[in-house]
Amino acid sequence: MGGRYAGVAAGIAWTGEGYQVEVLDGAGRRVVEASSWGADRVAELVPWLRGLSEGSGLAVVLDSTNGLLDGPLTAAGLDVYRADPWLLPPRPRFGSVPAERLARSALDGPARVTAEGGSLTGRAEEYHEGVRRSAPAQAAMTAAGRCFEHGRRDTPRVALTFDDGPDPVHTRQVLEILDRYGARATFFCVGHHVAALPDEVRRIADAGHELGNHSWSHPFLPDLTPEQLREQLDRTTEAVARVTGEAPTRFRPPYGGLTPEVLATLAEHPGTVTLWDVDSRDWSRPGPERIAETVLGGVRPGSVVLMHEGAGDRGQTVRALPSIIEGLLERGLEPVTVGELAAVPAAPAGVPVTRS
């Protein structure tokens, strides 16, 4: 670090087994011994980092292929930075660059991550441009039945979906609420958490809900090579299949981050790209009342609703969920899985579609 960086930097790398952490001072010396943390120990990792930050000006550095830690770290008041690919050496096919290299990248001007902007802080324009360029390819995949955003608008059903889990606390709470109302949902799980919390995955499957693939480490997909993207998909599919005996058939891209290049890789891969038409924005933690208002204000027959039960404090989502389900039922809208919503045949030609 050449002595130019006065604070302490913690680099957090992800692997197939969990997280590796290296903490260096401004001269590049280890502050503490390198450590390993399972994905099920984030609740311990966060206060450990907070303890290191007291009086040290700790900078926590992740890379753009790790979208699972910025939420809990920023919520804990830690200073979180994202090291983008142009600041780092090439990544391996599976995993991030080493934790030591991430810590040293604090010198190179990594992007500060905010709770409001999340993992894509400072890259919103790039994100939206990628989505815009993807529109023709996405439309073609939708027409071919390989991409799904919402169901028929004359069908009184809505798909509630939950991303980023499983979670050792919030998954069970969500399942209890769904069971109370007899509602079914789809859980798009990340492989990192599936491997660490297999019992929670079994709870989801045993309760009759649908499981989907949400990548392994929640990366910004445009930053991956085609080989790295396929590895994320395949490993997550294998992890879910090992636990439940059934491979997921749907994939949800993290952040909905797409480009024509990403879609070209996904088009060659089995499974249906599954997006949404109602974003609860619960990841910004605006309060349970606001989350419920956002969902109920945007939902229509056939809608797919995006919510989260992992990778952060999802207590607000849990508290909003009863109001959301009750609001749907009052309108005669049945909460179902994405698979059930998509199974409704297309409206016959000449039959008018009811709008709401």
pTM: 0.91
- Whole-number Cα distances in Å, 336 to 121, 183, 199: 33, 6, 23
Q: Please compute Rg for the chain using Cα positions.
A: 20
Q: What is the pLDDT of residue 61?
A: 96
Closest of 63, 22, 14, 83 to residue 42, by C-alpha = 14
Q: Pick the catalytic residue: 63, 70, 163, 164?
A: 163
Known catalytic residue at 282 = no
Known catalytic residue at 308 = yes
Distance CA 116, CA 79 (A): 13
pLDDT in single tens digits along all 356 residues of the chain: 433 445 899 999 999 999 999 999 888 899 999 999 999 999 999 999 999 988 778 999 999 999 999 999 999 999 999 999 999 999 999 999 999 999 999 988 899 998 888 889 999 999 999 999 999 999 999 999 999 999 999 999 999 999 999 999 999 999 999 999 999 999 999 999 999 999 999 999 999 999 999 999 999 999 999 999 999 999 999 999 999 999 999 999 999 999 999 999 999 999 999 999 999 999 889 999 999 999 999 999 999 999 999 998 899 999 999 999 999 999 999 999 999 999 977 655 444 433 33
270 CB-contact burial (10 Å; exposed 0-12 / middle 13-18 / buried 19+): exposed
Closest of 10, 98, 67 to residue 224, by C-alpha = 67
Distance CA 39, CA 42 (A): 6
Q: Residue 348 carries which DSSP code?
A: P
Distance CA 303, CA 301 (A): 6
Q: Pick the catalytic residue: 170, 214, 218, 308?
A: 308
Q: What is the pLDDT of residue 5?
A: 46
What domains are defined for the chain? 9-120 (3.30.420), 124-342 (3.20.20.370)
The helix/strand/coil state of 76 is: coil
- Whole-number Cα distances in Å, 94 to 54, 90, 219, 256: 33, 11, 11, 21
